Structure 1
Amino acid sequence: MKYCFVFTLIIFYSNSIFSQTKVDCLQNKLQDAKNENKAYIYNELAHEVFYTNSSLLYKYAKKTDSLAKLYNIDSTRISALNNLTYASVLQGKVKDATKYNQQAINLAFSKNLTNKKISSVYFKGFIFYATGQTDSSLFYLNKAYKSAITANHAKLKLQCLNTIASNFLSQGKYTIALEKFTKAYNIADSLKLSTKIINLSLNIGTTLMYNEEIDKAINYFEKVIVTSDTTITTLAYASALNNIGSCLNKKGNYKRALLYFNKSLTAFLKLNNKLHISQVYANLGQTNIFLNRTEAANGYLQHAVALNREGKSYGQLIVNLILLGDLQIRKKEYLQAKYSIDEAKSIIDKYNVNTNKIDLYKTYSSYFKATNQLNKALTYKELELQLRDSIFNENRQKQISQLETKFQTKLKENENESLRKDLSFNKLQVDKQTQLRNFFLILAILVIVLVMILLNRARLKKQAHKIIEEQKQELEKANRTKDKFFGIIAHDLRAPFNVLIVLSKLLYENYDDLSDKDRKSYINDLKEASKGSFNLVEDLLTWSRIQGGNPTIKKENLNIHSIVQSSISPLKASAKLKNITITNHLSSETTGFADKHSLETIIVNLINNALKFTPNNGEINISATSDSKNTTISISDTGIGMSRKQIDQLFKIDVNNSTLGTNKEKGTGLGLTLCKEFIEINNGKIWVESIQGKGSTFSFYIPTR
């Protein structure tokens, strides 16, 4: 999931441009002011710091509220309560913001103060906007906007239009958002409001960025930075820095994006703007993910989530919890990942949020796949693809509705045009023919478009089902591999343990009748068989790591003669039981380039397989040939051989190749699969030649160097 937060600026009914000199002057006036005059001065101070410092804004607004309440200055008190609403939202105190806003609404309506009623209703919409509740926000903002039009209050219209546009922007309705921002910009330009023009330039740039017009967007943001007052830190300046970082992320320039995000974070920390601080933390977290800096990313996302919870910013919280869960899966912190995505799901279910469900299902599928819960992984992958398909159907239906509307509109226009014209009969006939022709032309176009849409949908649906089927097969294969692993353990450990049991039984029952030499021979055979069993366990654990995608392979130049000789040793006892001769014909100078442990496992398995299918008093011969590229090793036996059908089914994990040996030895038929996988890991290939009744030769090659 690739998602960066970008900022629009909310424009308020305030003409103030920050001036430290003016703030100092007002503070000096406070010393000589009396009674209600202090309320007016504190209210002016609040306007001065409105865009620059939420902590000071809260402090001055609180003082204003206290004094205005004391001296019954209703209009000033409503302004103070709205300022407290805004400051509380920025500081993540949504509950306090709601309380102050309700007090402002109650007072404004009880005193019937028109402009204050409009601004108080506006701030109610702003609270819902800041917490991601778009529908509720638009309801109150449109209500305030209609009232501002009735009151002919240009600045309040500007304020409402800007936040309405920001809501549409967050919904992905870029055309409507750009229309509203442009309308607000024209109002600001007509009123010569330079600060508002800067803020709206930022918002237009943000809309262009969402519409993938990245270079145009960057030009707008750089314009905001250049035209901002460099002596102070403003929301517009801080937001422009963040948004340039987001543009650079989209262009893949992550390191440069980090520089802008860090500058933006410093600016928002100065402003004590927790709403935007949390978003910048999220951007820093995701950018560090792109750079594979997982620990740094985790820290930033944890900060973002904490601030989202504190501020009840549910829209941001959902996105950041999914990002955090995905990162925790990568770090194999599965318990924490489950908590993160479960919390995101609970918020989505509680507030019926649909925009993030695809990312949620995708992350759940990744989690269950990583924790080997393959059926659940497949279920969530199907939910993800179904939702994608559903969204496609909705978009298709909208396209069809738009086409139908255009068609009906065109038809009505033609009918109205015919009714308005008072032409001669011949002219009317010609017009009717023209209309009929146009009707069929439009109808044909509509049918063609519908067919194209349906064909495209069928193609996308086919692709989706293909993806589901491929992933289903992959998950089923993983399950089969897991089941086969236990069979391999039984196969490869049964033979040596049978030897241990037989030898120990012989030694126990015949101990008193055996000479010291015979006893030592039996004990030595037991030692070799035990050692071989231990080595097999080691090899099987290595194979399990291969199946998990984490094999420990260390390729090196090896003396193949020595490897073959050491592989024969643990099998001598099994050969002795059937009086089978194993002969190593390799030159002592035969070499190859492979992993030692896996090569030993290959040779042991192939010799053990030959022992199994060679009758008593048989022979097993091991030879090798080399050239400049490859060393080929062959293991031949005088066993029972195989048919062509049996040869064709060898090395297939989904076919049961288990066959009883000449002395009824049992196996799972998976030893050769193990050999094949190890040989391929060592860049080799295995094949077999066999004649029924005469024996088999298994050959494989590995690189010579």
Structure 2
Amino acid sequence: MLANPHFRLYALRTLTGVFWLLACLLSGPLAAQSAQDVLPADSLEVRLILADEQQKLQILLTLSEQYLDKQADLALARSKQALTLARRLNDARSEAIALRATGNALRYLLSDYESALDYCYKALKITEEREYKQEQAETLHLIGDIYFEVGNSYKAIEHYMQALAMAESLSLYPEVVKIFNKIGVVYTALGSDQKSIEYHKKALRISKNNEYNPGIAASNYYLAITYTQVGNLDLALEMQHIALALRQNMQDLEGQAICYMALGKIYLLKTDYDKALVQVNSAYQLYDQIGDTDGTARALNQMGAIYIEKKDFAQAINQLKLALSLGEQFNNKKVMRDSYEYLYNCYAALKNYEQALHYKDQFIAISDFIYGEESERRMAELQNRFEIEQKESEIAVLKKDKQIRDLALQEQANFRNFLIILLVLLSVIFTLVLYLFRNHRRSNQQLKSVNEHINRQNGELQELNATKDKFFSIISHDLKGPLNSLTSFAGLLINHTDALSKDEIKMLATDLDKSIKNLLSLLNNLLEWSRSQSGNLDIKVEPLDVRELVYANAELLQRTAENKEITLHTRVPANLKGFADKNQMNTVLRNLISNALKFTEKGGSVEVEVNEWKDAIEVAVRDSGVGMSPAVLAKLFKIEHKYSTPGTANESGTGLGLMLCKEFVERSGGMISVESQEGKGSTFRFTIPKYKPAPQPAMAV
């Protein structure tokens, strides 16, 4: 365990603060570019002198992007030069890019979010008018970033979603992956870890489908950080190692260092201090190699914290003083604050109260200073947010005024037209005819609309009936097979009893028993499915003990596992209460575990694992069996595509069980999904709502 509660808070604070910031910086526009893609800034500055105007424009835009992280003042200067040149050359696309770059530089350099948004919206207007779709998506993405930084998460998501739709329409998969990950970060800030995981997994899926390794690494990293925050350290460790391996292959030194730091945090939380030291030391070596003094100092501080946990105070003091020296050299107050705090803890543990008091005083002084700076920054952000919202309100008012003026003009025009019609017609009768004609036309339009609606419903009904017909043809085929087998077995027993040996009769009886059981299983599933479809299935939602549910079904199928020499494991935390229909959940678990055993080779393993999330409980049934191809995965859970193959011991099935599982899980307010690869096994996951007891009324005093 960590030495005191303050260190636990520090570990979580670092995970949720520093790592998110560094990860977001890595996922920015420069992260996807390698050293081979663009020339260094100094080489580009030399080329700028001799380039013609069109080349100069592109070089200025590239320099603005390169300077953004560490020399935002130069980035702003180059973007404004590019903007002036683009307008002189009448290059609208470059003008939009330069406007966006200027807004981004103002955001980095001065935190002037109002001006940054002003430039971005000017860029957005050009991209919309000229239909520059890619630039429009990138501008919407940046606007989302700015809104997130000023604390308006919902506005950020709104613009991210617009950027996402446009990037998907253009198949800009790297941009799509970045936006999905950004949305995940926003949901983490809102405290919705489950939604965050959902969006990071979407990004991961797209990256894998397109073999986009930077995206795969980034999504695994984000997922590992989120799983660390919710306490699933084993899964976090697995995903962080995947991210690290990919960044090693890409020779992304800074990305590797961040992964090593995250791994160090995970091992620290698992109290495996030796492994934590190895990981953080690797991060230290990489930061030192790339000349990142901030990262080097943070790694030294983290090593000091680990040595404190190991009670090796001499080594801790040595590392912490090196970190403090770097912090003082580069005036990094947060590094200095952490060094002072850890040194105070070291000397207090060594009972050197004079030194402990010295560092305690230094810690308090610099903490007060940092708090003052952060308070000023928060006030500036609040002011920026207020000004942005005020400006949006003013724009909304202006739009409303314009709509009112347009409406008044339209009404005047309508009145004038009406007078002209009256003067031309010169007849009340003609006016009445005109009214009747309009009324008749309106009635025809309504009738046409009703007919179209009826035709649409008829089409949907025909499609549904066709699907049902196909489903029943599948079921009749599956019923016919076992019944034919029963007829054949019965004929053999009736006509050839005397000619059959005892072993042959026993073998026929075994096959007969298997066919009857398969038929009974099919009929049970078919009955349950038909009851669910007809609305006659009673659903009794109640609190249920998840561990008891899993153990009961595992025990029920233990004999089947032993017969195939399969190891059946369960990992279920105690005291987990779900809220669902117990009988339906038994059906779901029994089907999923039976399927896992069916498609697992002799000597394999099946594992049932339960995880607890904020509002739900996730049950995963994982096997080491034969797995499924993408084509097979696409057909699962669909009534019109029944999928069934023999098991590893030639067990038969109908595929109806999975449709029943999906029906029951979704009726309980949960979701079901599957992950599988051929030859590598399958994992079926489903969720059920977590039981939340009603609050007890306060006792009267």
So what's the TM-score if we normalise by structure 2?
0.40
So what's the TM-score if we normalise by structure 1?
0.40
Higher Cα Rg, which structure: 1
Q: Which has the higher contact order (CA 8 A, sep 6+)?
A: 1
